[in-house]
Structure 1
């Protein structure tokens, strides 16, 4: 199965993000982009790709142990940007250092479980909003996110998510941050 580890924003923050996303979707050419559904918005910490079903329990255990070593922290969805003309995203504000530390720990746990994260690029906390094929300039879409800041929330859980199913994403396991050891 295709797995990733993520932080899931609360419905209120996703609802607030909906307004600038709707403005972006109203721009000329927006129909050429593949927009993600609000119900699937998330901050990926590590994309594990195709994982053998037999590794899932070990990954779940290591993710749970990782979650125990990180305390809850404040986060907001804020601003946005693009990765070239391939992906449009919303960014993060608040304790971004905690997000980055958590992503690093999750990556280490996944490698230990035998499912190393894909990609070797520097981690950028982001929530993917749309994907393009490189032929549509994403700058005007990213500009619709300038100045956007959602209500804050406390990140309390780490989610192991399966992708490519109906619905698009399925939470396989959720582990509380800072749980009793």
Structure 2
């Protein structure tokens, strides 16, 4: 099974972002993008890849410790937009130093948990670029995402506190079904913060 650790935004934050994204779907070229469903929007903290049942159990134990040791709130606010080349469109995290630092610290701890569960090699850097993926280019083609990023630039969602750390199973589409998307199944959840 493919696993990752994540934080999911609350309904209010998703609703605000969904309103902003709705205007993007009418831009030229939008039909060449595969849009992520709002109920699948999340911040991936660490991606672990394929894991056995035993590795998943070990990882769950370690992530429970990470969540229990998270003593400070993890503030978040969806903000602005960006792109990875001409393939992936995303919305970012508001750049208050404390906000980014808290989420980066949580991401580093989930990466360390993956190392200890033998899912990540010891030399994998704990790099984390907080983003929530909105859309990916369909097929192998590229699309000019700059107009989308420009349209997202003024977006500032309401602030919220991440309340849970999730261990999620990702099931990729089998292929051949138009519009099929990955499915995300939370396997375990742990409360965060004091």
Matches within 5 A, 1:1-181: 1-70=1-70, 71-93=72-94, 94=96, 95-116=99-120, 122-132=127-137, 133-164=140-171, 168-178=183-193
Q: SS of the counterpart of 1:140?
A: helix
Distance 1:66 1:104 in 2: 10
In the comparison of the two structures, how many residue pairs are matched? 178
Structure 1 residues 5-51: Cα deviation after superposition (integer angstroms, max 9, x where no partner): 00100011000001221111110111111110101000000111111
The answer to whether the 8 A contact 1:84-1:134 is kept is: no
CA RMSD between the two structures: 1.9
Task: Judge which range, 97-106 or 157-166, deviates more.
Answer: 157-166
Q: Give structure 1 stretches of 5+ with no counterpart.
A: none
The answer to whether the 8 A contact 1:73-1:155 is kept is: yes
Q: Give structure 2 stretches of 5+ with no counterpart.
A: 173-180
- Give me the TM-score of the superposition, normalised by structure 2: 0.85
Which 4+ runs in 1 deviate beyond 2 A?
A: 119-122
Distance 2:91 2:23 in 1: 14
Task: Judge which range, 57-66 or 159-168, deviates more.
Answer: 159-168
